[in-house]
Amino acid sequence: MATTPTQIPSLNYTAGRMNYRPEAIVIHIMEGSLSGTDSWFKNRQSSVSAHYGIGTNGEIHQYVQENDTAWHAGRVNAPSWNLIKPVRNGLYRNPNYYTIGIEHEGNENSEWTDTMYESSSSLIAEVAQRWNIPIDRYHIIGHHEIYSLKTCPGFKVDLDKLVDMSRRKVGYNPSFTIINQAGSVKTTSQLRIRIGNPSTMNPVLRIAPIGEVINYVGYTDEGQEVAEVTRWYKTVDGNWFWGGGVVEGY
């Protein structure tokens, strides 16, 4: 059930990404309607854009291609975001180069419709998979976390809920059962050890080389399904790796 955004190209963008790639998704509120945003982003004088806009009815519009830089979060003021890239002397790399911007219809005080949450989480899940962006609150952020002088995306959106819905769409089961049974395995391929949960949407702690023996303290058969394997192992220090890249009995 891939989303099919309606293409409404904006001229307000920078071609390419200055050697960066999308590493995070910035959530915005339009402070207006979807149709108003369509014309605002088409207007060269506005000098703003985003990659996507989503209506309260779930409709998705695309204004800028993901490979290009949209003009949605270029200003930085007292950022609270941990992953922002500083340059020097309190200056920052322009966040537009390494983020995807998604606008949402409404204003800072309007309730988000279920349909808008649905569409937005589907789009986030797709974008995250395309660019291997972990789906968590470090990588799915509100605009004000970059630019503190704005309230964007407003007071009503529940970003934790949006992240949770997006994670479920990539096959992550939030209520998995852990079998507490220790053992050890040997890697058969380079294996990503993930922080936090049995899911490829979690940040990578390190990459284990082929042939490494790893001790585990437990496992689950209800982790994210990858190549029809749902077994994930929990390491001694509480991290996770996928069972498809190892053999048992070491």
Residues engaged in binding Zn ion (CB under 5 A)? 28, 143, 152
- DSSP, collapsed to helix, strand or coil, labels residue 69 as strand
Q: How far is the CB of 144 from Zn ion (least distance, A)?
A: 8
Q: 62: which strand partners?
A: 7, 52
Cα(153)–Cα(112) distance, integer angstroms: 11
Of residues 117 and 219, the one with the C-beta less far from Zn ion = 117
* Three-state SS at 185: strand
CB-wise, 95 or 243, nearer to Zn ion?
A: 95
Rounded Cα distance between 176 and 169, Å, is 16
CA separation (Å) from 238 to 56, 196, 197, 218? 40, 7, 9, 10
Q: How far is the CB of 150 from Zn ion (least distance, A)?
A: 6
Cβ proximity to Zn ion, 143 vs 231, nearer residue: 143
Q: Cα(104)–Cα(149) distance, rounded to whole angstroms?
A: 19
- 91 or 149, CB closer to Zn ion? 149
**Is residue 201 within 8 Å of 172, Cβ to Cβ?**
yes
Q: Kindly tell me which of 28 and 61 has the beta carbon lying closer to Zn ion.
A: 28
CA distances for 242 relative to 38, 79, 165, 166, 210, angstroms: 43, 35, 22, 20, 14
- The CB-of-9 to Zn ion minimum distance in angstroms stands at 20
| Cβ nearer to Zn ion, comparing 151 with 173 | 151
Please, what is the minimum distance in Å from the beta carbon of residue 123 to Zn ion? Answer: 16
For residue 126, the number of C-alpha atoms closer than 13 Å in the C-beta half-sphere is 15
Q: Least distance to Zn ion from the beta carbon of 129, Å?
A: 24
Query: Shortest approach of Zn ion to residue 109 CB, angstroms?
Result: 15
Structure tokens at 106: 């409404």
